[in-house]
């Protein structure tokens, strides 16, 4: 191959990379109104607020977040920088962290200084969860993941006290960057996909009888009550087991659907086929049904509400505006699909 | 093609790194691989039996023990690779809470345990004061049934969590020493029983379980130095 042909090929490759990079930067520069992120902020704030207050009101703070000589089960971990800054692990430190996190979450809900509030809520909850790692679950990681992304976005431009203070109105059409919402949509996709591909228990498989949900809801550690009655509705339970696993593993389809919707100028057989249905809505409805059932039957902490809060990021702010107007009767159903 | 300001390119790189970190954190984490004894739990053993039977069925000759050994080695190696791959992203995840290691209901626990707490008065019989989720024996039930405690109790019921369980038993002894001034000893045990199949539930049958992981502690030391 002559040198000039190699140069042309190399140049074309470089142009492609450059073009893809420009497209990436372009996507990240997209702006939109802040409604979706405002609802996400309120949702995350409420769930975290409830998580923190329930630790205090249920009385588990002493056994789980105090040292042995203060009435706790273990001697708390001192690895976190904030814990060290507050004087080391102790019941007093735990209470300070809990109080700071509660105040920060309240500010997050009402929308006042929301980026600082998210940062305080994030660091205090990381510190609190680090003190006794055996007392939590994946939902704690999900909370901190979402709080970090809320640090990076002006989620209080609308539906907030800050908006009211600035403009004497509760809502605003001020634009914010959309990339944090995209990152949350990516997060929910990765979460479901990762948990789906790790479900290797035989009971999730057709040859295992699709009994996984049956055994999961009967586990005494997490069952709210005795659910032996579900043995009478096994066909339904087996369908739910199969749907859950397929739904989780194929969740990336939602991201694909959102991408296809964002690029309507492009065409192709797959695009036409995928866009024929509102796949996002189908996945969200299944998810809400699944999480409501988990919440009703099992006590797994804030797992269901915090996960459902992530769904808020799957919708464009214009869709919230249309829903609001539809609810107020301004737009007849079916006329606003653009 | 539009020319974007330099800071937008820097932001592009940072967001790409965030996405990469989240993706890497989502790599399957076979944490159980670190605890070889957890592989002997009946739930895990049943999984291996079912999988080896399935593999034999499709022409791959193996036994549950061979499969266990092979997968244990593979899981150890994978954990090492995962650890190395994740090391650059660790500080980011640690300080900004971006871990994404999700393993929800990987395999249902078919041999769950239920906590039983008993006390002994001087020269008396053992008296049950707490059975998890039994309203007739409800000492500490308000704590045990809070979601944070449920998570901890779930772990204590595994043989491999012996250190954490020991600390929990000592805490129960400290609490019992105060709440039951006449008691001399405390015994904690976990009733381990296989979850009945749907057919058995409908027929009103259940498996016979057994008490495991028992520990008896004298309350005297906890009264002297609480």
* pLDDT tens-place string over residues A210-260: 999 999 999 998 999 889 999 999 999 999 999 999 999 999 999 999 999
Is residue A143 within 8 Å of A302, Cβ to Cβ?
yes
Asked whether residue A333 is assigned to any structural domain, the reply reads: no
Asked whether residue A322 is assigned to any structural domain, the reply reads: no
A36/A173 same-domain check? yes
Q: How many domains does chain A have?
A: 2
A193/A239 same-domain check? yes
Q: Is the model's pLDDT at B59 over the cut of 60?
A: yes
Any idea what the Cα angle at residue B157 is, between residues B156 and B158, rounded to 5°? 90
Q: Do B109 and A219 touch (CB under 8 A)?
A: yes
Point out which residues pair with B214 in neighbouring strands: none
Number of other residues whose CB lies within 10 A of the CB of residue A254: 22
Q: Which ipTM score applies to this complex?
A: 0.88
Q: What is the mean pLDDT of residues B30-44?
A: 70
What's the rounded Cα separation, in Å, for the pair A182 and A113? 22
Boundary of a domain, candidates A177, A192, A214: A177
A91/A212 same-domain check? no
Ranges A148-152, A204-208, B4-8, B204-208: which has the least confidence: A204-208
A165/A263 same-domain check? no
Range of the domain at A186: 181-300
Boundary of a domain, candidates A152, A177, A202: A177
Instruction: List b or e across B104-117, with b for residues whose CB sees 16 or more CB atoms inside 10 angstroms.
Output: bbbbbbbbbbbbbb
Asked whether residue A338 is assigned to any structural domain, the reply reads: no
Suggest the residue from A128, A179, A187, A202 to mutate for an interface test with chain B (most B CBs closer than 10 A): A202
A187/A143 same-domain check? no
Q: Which of B144, B98, B152 is nearest to A132 (CA)?
A: B152
Q: What is the mean pLDDT of residues B121-140?
A: 93
Q: What is the mean pLDDT of residues B118-141?
A: 93
A162/A185 same-domain check? no
Q: Is B104 helix (H, G, I), strand (E, B) or coil?
A: coil
A211/A166 same-domain check? no
A209/A161 same-domain check? no
A35/A172 same-domain check? yes
Q: What is the mean pLDDT of chain A?
A: 92
Q: Do A301 and B132 touch (CB under 8 A)?
A: no
Of A173 and B105, the structure prediction assigns the larger pLDDT to A173
CB pairs under 8 A between A and B: 192
Over the stretch A83-133, which tens digit does the pLDDT of each residue have?
999 999 999 999 999 999 999 999 999 999 999 999 999 999 999 999 998
- Please report, for residues A204, A235, A236, A295, A296, the alpha-carbon distance to residue A232 in angstroms, rounded to integers and kept in the order given: 19, 9, 9, 20, 18
Asked whether residue A39 is assigned to any structural domain, the reply reads: yes
Q: What is the mean pLDDT of residues A287-305?
A: 94
Instruction: List b or e across B151-187, with b for residues whose CB sees 16 or more CB atoms inside 10 angstroms.
Output: bbbbebbbbbbeebbebbbbbbbbbbbeebeebbbbb
* Residue A277 dihedral angles phi and psi, to the nearest 5°: -115, 155
What's the rounded Cα separation, in Å, for the pair B82 and B89? 11
In three state form, how does the secondary structure of B38-80 look? Answer: HHHCHHHHHHHHHHHHHHHHCCCCCCHHHHHHHHHHHHHHHHH
Is residue B122 within 8 Å of B219, Cβ to Cβ?
no
What's the rounded Cα separation, in Å, for the pair A11 and A30? 29
* pLDDT (0 to 100) of residue A338: 35
How close, in Å, is residue A268 to chain B by CA atoms? 24
Q: Which residues of A touch B54 (CB under 8 A)?
A: 202, 207
Q: Do B106 and A68 touch (CB under 8 A)?
A: no
A68/A202 same-domain check? no
Asked whether residue A315 is assigned to any structural domain, the reply reads: no
% of chain A beyond a pLDDT of 70 = 96
A169/A249 same-domain check? no
% of chain A beyond a pLDDT of 90 = 77
In this prediction, residue A7 has a pLDDT band, given cuts at 50, 70 and 90, of: confident
A50/A173 same-domain check? yes
């Amino acid at each position: 191959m002559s040198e000039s042909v190699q140069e042309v090929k190399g140049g074309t490759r470089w142009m492609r990379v450059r073009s893809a990079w420009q497209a990436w930067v372009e996507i990240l520069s997209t702006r939109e109104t802040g409604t979706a992120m405002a609802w996400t902020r309120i949702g995350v704030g409420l769930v975290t607020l409830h998580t923190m207050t329930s630790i205090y009101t249920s009385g588990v703070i002493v056994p789980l977040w105090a040292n042995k000589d203060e009435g706790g089960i273990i001697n708390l971990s001192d690895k976190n920088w904030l814990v060290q800054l507050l004087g080391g692990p102790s019941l007093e430190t735990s209470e300070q962290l809990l109080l700071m996190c509660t105040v920060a979450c309240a500010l997050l809900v009402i929308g006042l200084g929301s980026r600082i509030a998210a940062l305080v809520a994030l660091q205090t909850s990381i510190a609190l969860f680090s003190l006794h790692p055996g007392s939590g679950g994946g939902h704690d990681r999900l909370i901190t993941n979402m709080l970090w992304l809320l640090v990076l976005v002006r989620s209080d431009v609308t539906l907030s006290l800050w908006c009211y203070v600035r403009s004497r109105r509760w809502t605003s059409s001020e634009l914010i960057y959309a990339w944090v919402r995209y990152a949350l949509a990516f997060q929910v996709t990765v979460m479901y996909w990762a948990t789906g591909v790790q479900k290797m228990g035989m009971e999730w498989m057709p040859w295992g009888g699709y009994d996984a949900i049956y055994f999961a809801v009967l586990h005494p550690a997490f069952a709210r009550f005795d659910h032996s009655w579900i043995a009478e509705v096994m066909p339904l339970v087996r369908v739910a087991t199969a749907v859950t696993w397929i739904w989780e593993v194929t969740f990336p389809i939602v991201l694909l659907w959102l991408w296809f919707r964002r690029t309507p100028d492009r065409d192709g057989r797959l695009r036409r086929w995928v866009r024929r249905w509102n796949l996002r809505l189908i996945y969200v409805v299944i998810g809400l049904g699944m999480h409501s059932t988990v919440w009703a039957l099992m006590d797994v902490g804030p797992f269901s509400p915090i996960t459902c809060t992530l769904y808020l990021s799957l919708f464009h702010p214009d869709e919230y505006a249309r829903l609001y107007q539809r609810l107020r009767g301004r737009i007849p159903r079916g006329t606003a699909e653009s | 093609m539009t020319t974007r300001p330099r800071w937008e390119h820097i932001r592009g790189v940072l967001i790409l790194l965030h996405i990469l970190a989240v993706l890497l954190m989502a790599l399957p984490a076979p944490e159980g691989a670190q605890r070889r004894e957890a592989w002997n739990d009946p739930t895990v053993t049943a999984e291996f039996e079912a999988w080896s039977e399935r593999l034999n069925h499709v022409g791959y000759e193996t036994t549950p023990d061979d499969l266990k050994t092979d997968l244990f080695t593979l899981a150890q190696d994978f954990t090492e690779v995962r650890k190395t791959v994740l090391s650059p992203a660790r500080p980011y995840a640690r300080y900004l809470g971006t871990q994404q290691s999700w393993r929800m209901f990987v395999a249902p626990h078919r041999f769950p345990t239920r906590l039983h707490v008993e006390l002994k008065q001087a020269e008396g019989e053992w008296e049950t004061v707490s059975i998890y989720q039994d309203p007739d024996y409800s000492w500490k039930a308000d704590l045990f049934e809070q979601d944070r405690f449920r998570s901890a109790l779930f772990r204590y019921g595994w043989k491999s969590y012996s250190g954490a369980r020991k600390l929990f038993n000592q805490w129960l002894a400290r609490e019992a020493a105060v709440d039951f001034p006449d008691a001399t000893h405390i015994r904690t045990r976990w009733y381990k029983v296989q979850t009945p199949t749907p057919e058995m539930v409908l027929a009103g049958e259940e498996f016979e379980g057994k008490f495991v992981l028992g520990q008896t502690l004298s309350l005297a030391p906890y009264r002297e130095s609480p």
